[in-house]
Each structure stands twice: as structure tokens, then as C-alpha cells.
A and B are shown apart, each in its own frame.
Chain A
Amino acid sequence: MDILVCIKQVPGTNEVKIDPVTGVLNRNGVDSKMNPYDLYALETALRLKEKHGGKVSVISMGPPQAQAIIREAYAMGADEGALVSDRKFGGADVLATSYTLSQGIKKFGKFDLILCGKQTTDGDTAQVGPEIAEYLNIPSVCNVSKFTEVMTDSVSVAMDMPHDVEIVQVQFPCLLTVEKDIFQPRLPSYIKKTATKEQTVQMYCLQDFDDKDEKKYGLSGSPTQVQRIFPPTSDKKRELWVESGTVLADKMFEKISELKFIQ
């Protein structure tokens, strides 16, 4: 089984603030890491390979520095990796990102199964997976919490719904997004890290794609536009009580009683 895992490099911290005077976005620290939800997808792929054989590849989109997470995937056991990187992809929204990745995937190879994490920690949209599936014209199932059966041409998985679990069979090729905790992700191995030191990362830019129409990528290919960013405001009335612990407990008790939550 040939499995591809889509991974993303995200900021190591979510501490992002706007300077109220200049309106400039401050990103504290340049630390970055693999999106934590992608680790579950990668772990799922590695377990499937260990049990059923095949190959695990990873793909990402981002600046050249994002090669770091592909190397991390190698150290966890991935066999091959590709990075889709071009200045022309800058400013891509969900749609342009999904399209760019789908073009990269077509170039990278043929896969039975494409796995994604449930969402990223920086964008939080959970939309890229289903959109890639549309562009590749393959079926998709989200919120996968379990693999129940793996066959030569399909898989059966549990899709986690609010009130029930649906067991669905999906034909290959297909795209699945997996829930957190489907498997406990392994740590990168030092031995693998050393062994894959020389291993290359396949790089793709716009010129490598089948569709080279610049209008479909980056800011130009993005139907959504961020008009402005601003710090969240709160218009609720509020009281701040600065007292000793005893007084605070008294006041809180009175307030909760007054609101009729203690009967």
C-alpha cells in the first residue's frame, strides 16, 4: 500500500499579538514544528505500513525551511518526502493551498491512501484535506477514529459522528483525515535521523506542475482576502475584584447564590 501523509510546519507557539499603535503583527519567536495533528496521521501511516507493507511518503508546502519537518518525518520512519515551495505560492488561502498541494501530489506519485491530520494548529480550518480530495477527484472521509479492515482495493474505517460511529468502506485511492489519538505518535529515532541525513527532499515549484497558470496560485488564486486584522474586543460589562482569598470566596459565593445556582 502506497501511503502519502500531508504535513505542515506551524509556529511553535501561538503567542501572536498586534502592536496596538502600529498595527504590526508581532510573531514572538521563530520556532516552528510539525503540526501536532499531523503526527497522528503519520503514525497511522507507519503502523499501516508495518502491518500491511508498502511505502510511506510525506508532502508539505512552505518555505525551504519546512524541509525540517520532512527530515523529522524521515526520523520517524517515512520513506520519501517532497516539499512544494515557490515564492509564487505566497499568500495562498485554503483553496489555493489545496490546489497547490493537489498539483504537487500528482507530480509526486500515485498513492492508494492519502492521510491528513484533522486540522492545523495555526489555521484551525480543517478544510485543506477535503479540498485536496476534490481536486484529485477521490473520495474522502474525515474524523477517522479507527481502521477496521484493510483490503487490497479499499479500507474500512470508523468515522466519528456526534452521536454515533459510522463504519464506512472507501475505495482506493482515497483521502482520510484522522482524529487525534487514533494512535500514539512515536518519537523520532536518533538512528533513523542519522541514517537519513543524506536523504534528499524532492523539491517542486510552479514550473514543475501540470497546471502552470499563475492565477491559480498564491494570493491571485485565493478567493478569500483578509481585509484587516485586529485584536479581539469585549463589550461585556465586567468587574474585577482584587481582595484577599477569603473575601473573594465570600463575594463569589454571594454572586452565585444571587444568580440562583446554589439551591
Chain B
Amino acid sequence: MAKLVVHQEKISDLQELLKICPFGAMEEKGGKIEINAACKMCQLCVKKGPKGAVEYVADEVQAIDKSQWQGVAVYVDHVAGVIHPVTYELLGKAKELAAKINQPVYAVFMGKSIAAGSHELLHYGADKVYVYDDPALEYFKIEAYTAVFENFIDKVKPAAILVGATTVGRQLAPRTAARFRTGLTADCTVLDMRENTDLVQIRPAFGGNIMAQILTPNTRPQMATVRYKVMQAPKRQAEETGEIVSCAIEPEKLQCRVEVLSVVPKEKEKTIDSAEVLVVAGRGVKKAEDLAMVQELADLLGGQVASTRPIVEAGWLDAKHQVGLSGRTVRPKLVITCGVSGAVQFVAGMNHSDVIISINKDPKATIFQVANYGLVGDIYEIVPKMIEKIKAAKGVSA
């Protein structure tokens, strides 16, 4: 197994080496360096430490035959046959990736009475749509859906699979990945394809201001989830291309230890995902009552109020207003951030917005790196003035 070996004799300054480890995984014991279980094998000590002091001993890996795995597949996310738009975004991406290696695009669609709807996918560039239409697949049940996914992968052997990071996708993708003992990268923001069919996956990592480029170099299929509104949806083509492949699976494989007793529709409420204008409250908002001005500005612009994580954690707004990696990903036409510093988890959830206007007192705030128009100023001064001006303008025009 891959490991780090410490060559004590090559270390001149123990303390310097200890400092290099960002995880505190190096300890000094009796004048010797030891690596403990906090080690994440990032190998910074190998690269940044005294030459030869820490050695990385790699595994001998038996390389797999990647030519056995062909094509880019997309999981068709749907509820009761209504296809989630993230599916089309992923088909667009899959087509782009597959073109680079000259391989086909597949879609896998599982559910009940979905055969008719499956044709829609042929307008978005899928070369083959594998349809598993079975009454037992009426509701999403993890065991049955994973069994179908397994059947599809065994049959088609795709090089890569893209899954929407929806409620269903976030359960189904990991279970399937574990079954194939393969890699799954969550919430990718950038995807690319190498000639050798390795999928380059980029996602925000360490929950901090860092992006990580991740590969799944020696297992197949490579799996990635992508959030809704991260990729661009392709234009619907008037003509159908490609073909539908009807598939079936043995009924016993669809047996589950989960049973859906009832489905209760949620009250329809306006969600921040669908808003064209969002006004976002950040930590610069000092009191819960001050959200009123943010709300007023949003109302005047026909938009909705959203927030960063601290506002939700403070209990000032419900979690469904939260933008970011642990909240919603939004892509409105206009977003105005008020007192938002711009942590990467937040930015990842909104940086595809058409226009970003940000107000923050700190000229060095990271939000200004993504803002199209950055206003270095006080929200308590600017927002009330904006409200006044819009009201006046509306009053004049009314």
C-alpha cells in the first residue's frame, strides 16, 4: 500500500518539517518524526520538506484496460416521468466531452410509464437512450434503482457517468459508485475529457477557498455529480437523433426493503432557484430586523431574498433561502449581495448569475472577485438610498 517513509537522518530542523503539515499529522517523539493517523497523504512534506526526508512509496498498480469502457452516460433525473432540467444540461456537457474522444452519449432512464417521455431526450443529443420502464420503478427506491443502474453499467460499460446532484442523484450515485468500487466526485463545477478518457473533475474542496482537480485514473466507470444550473443547457433540436433502447431487468432484482406509503405534495412556494432577481443578505446585516430593508429592495425589484450560511445558522432566515454549496445553486439574471464577504462555498452557488452587484465595506472582500459591479460602501447607507430612489422612480412613472 502507498505510504510515507521518514528518513530521520536527512532532517536538519525537526520543527520546520512539523510546520509543513497542514493537518498536524507529524509528531516529534524522542527526537524523531512520526506520522500519525491525521495524515491525509497530501505529500506536502515530500514536496516542501528537506530533500529526501520524507519519501513517498507508491503502490504497484495494475492498470485497467480503458478501451473496454466507452461513451459518456447521463442519468435521467425525473419525478413521476417529469424530466428534471439538469438532465438536459448534463446531456449538453456529455456531448461536448464525448466529442473530444469521439465516443457516443448515452442516457439511462428508469421509471414507470416513461417510454413516451423518453423521446424528448433525443432532441438533446443522446445517441442512445436506455429505457427501463417497469411498474416497480414508479417511485425512487434506492435498492431497485441501484439494481437498474448496475444492469445498465454492466450492459453498456460507459467510460464516464454524469448524475444531477438532486435529491435522488445524491443518493443513487454514491450507492452505485460503491457497488462498482469506483470514484465519484460530488458537485463538480468544471468537467473536461482527456484523450485517454480520463474525466477531469474540478470542484471546490476543503470547504475553503480552494478548487481541487480530481481524476479517477484507474477505475471505471468514472462518476461525477453536477448541480442544477452549473452547466449550460443546449438548445433543443427540432429533429430527433439517436435511438431508444428498451431494457428489462429480472423482477427479483427490483425487490426492496423500502416501501413508499404515500406522497404528500409540498405547498408550492416561490423558491430562490426560480427567481430572476435575488437580493442576498450576508454577515454585514447586523440584526434580524435589518433584513426588512433587504426584503424591501427585493420586493421593489420583483425579486426574492436569499442569504449566506451565517444568516441561516443564526436562525434569521429559513434554510431554503440559503445560497451556496450547502444551500441552493442559483442562476438569476441579477444578484445583489449586501454585506457578503464571498466565501467560496457561497460563490460556487451563485457565480453563474448573469449580473452580480456587490456591496461590501471591505475593498479586499473576495466577493469583489466575482462581482461585475463592486460597491465599496456601507449597506446601511446604500440600500435605504436605493429603496428611496426606486420608490421615487416608480412614483413618477405610475
Contacts and interface: CB of A to CB of B under 8 A. Distances in A.
A166 B139 contact: yes
B293 interface: no
Interface string B177-218: 111011111110000000000000100111111111111111
A237 B372 contact: yes
A22 interface: yes
Interface stretch (A72-80, A91-99, A107-115, A189-197): A91-99
B355 A259 contact: yes
B370 A243 contact: no
Given A130-B178, A261-B301, A124 B25 contact: no
A133 B260 CA distance: 19
A98 B171 CA distance: 14
Interface string A116-151: 000101111111111101110011111100000000
A206 to B, nearest CB: 10
Interface in A128-186: 128-131, 133-135, 138-143, 156, 158-171, 174, 180-181
Nearest to B259: A169
Contacts of B186: 94, 124-127
Contacts of B201: 224
Given A121-B207, A170-B257, A252 B179 contact: no
A238 interface: yes
A85 B369 contact: no
Contact of B378 (A86, A88, A245): A245
Interface in A1-25: 10-11, 14-18, 22, 24-25
B170 A240 contact: no
A252 B356 CA distance: 12
A245 to B, nearest CB: 4
Interface in B120-160: 139-143, 146
B206 A16 contact: yes
A147 B310 CA distance: 28
A76 B137 CA distance: 41
B208 A65 contact: no
Interface centre among A134, A142, A159, A237 (most CB of B within 10 A): A134
B258 to A, nearest CB: 5
A229 B211 contact: yes
B186 to A, nearest CB: 4
B256 A62 contact: no
A90 B44 CA distance: 14
Contacts of B182: 95, 223
B258 A139 contact: yes
B106 to A, nearest CB: 21
Contacts of A122: 206-207
B319 A232 contact: no
Nearest to B377: A248
B185 A142 contact: no
A239 interface: yes
Contacts of A104: none
A98 B216 CA distance: 17
Nearest to A220: B1
A64 B373 contact: no
A63 B38 contact: yes
Contact of B22 (A24, A238, A261): A24
A242 B177 CA distance: 50
Interface string B363-396: 1000011111111111001100110011001100
A40 to B, nearest CB: 12
Given A25-B22, A125-B187, A252-B375, A228 B213 contact: yes
A249 interface: yes
Contact of A24 (B20, B38, B41, B300): B20
Contacts of B266: 163-165
A169 B258 contact: yes
A246 interface: yes
A250 B393 CA distance: 12
Given A127-B184, A223-B218, A240-B368, A162 B2 contact: no
Interface in B335-377: 343-345, 347, 351, 355-357, 359, 363, 368-377
B42 interface: yes
Contacts of A160: 167
A139 B142 contact: yes
B216 A215 contact: no
B150 to A, nearest CB: 11
A257 interface: yes
B389 A253 contact: yes
B119 interface: no
Contacts of A138: 257
A203 B257 CA distance: 32
A22 B211 contact: no
A112 to B, nearest CB: 13
A155 to B, nearest CB: 11
B39 interface: yes
A15 B208 contact: yes
B262 interface: yes
A240 B393 contact: no
A106 interface: no
Given A95-B184, A239-B374, A253 B319 contact: no
Contacts of B258: 139, 141, 168-171, 174
27 contacts: A15-B208, A16-B209, A24-B20, A90-B40, A91-B41, A121-B326, A124-B325, A124-B326, A127-B174, A128-B174, A138-B257, A140-B142, A140-B175, A161-B168, A170-B259, A215-B1, A215-B59, A217-B1, A218-B2, A220-B1, A224-B201, A224-B214, A229-B205, A230-B211, A232-B344, A252-B357, A255-B357
Interface of A: 10-11, 14-18, 22, 24-27, 30, 62-65, 85-91, 93-95, 98-99, 119, 121-131, 133-135, 138-143, 156, 158-171, 174, 180-181, 214-215, 217-220, 222-232, 234, 236-246, 248-253, 255-257, 259, 261-263
- Sorted from nearest, which 10 A-B pairs have the closest CB atoms? A91-B41, A16-B208, A245-B381, A63-B38, A223-B183, A249-B385, A90-B39, A224-B183, A214-B1, A134-B178
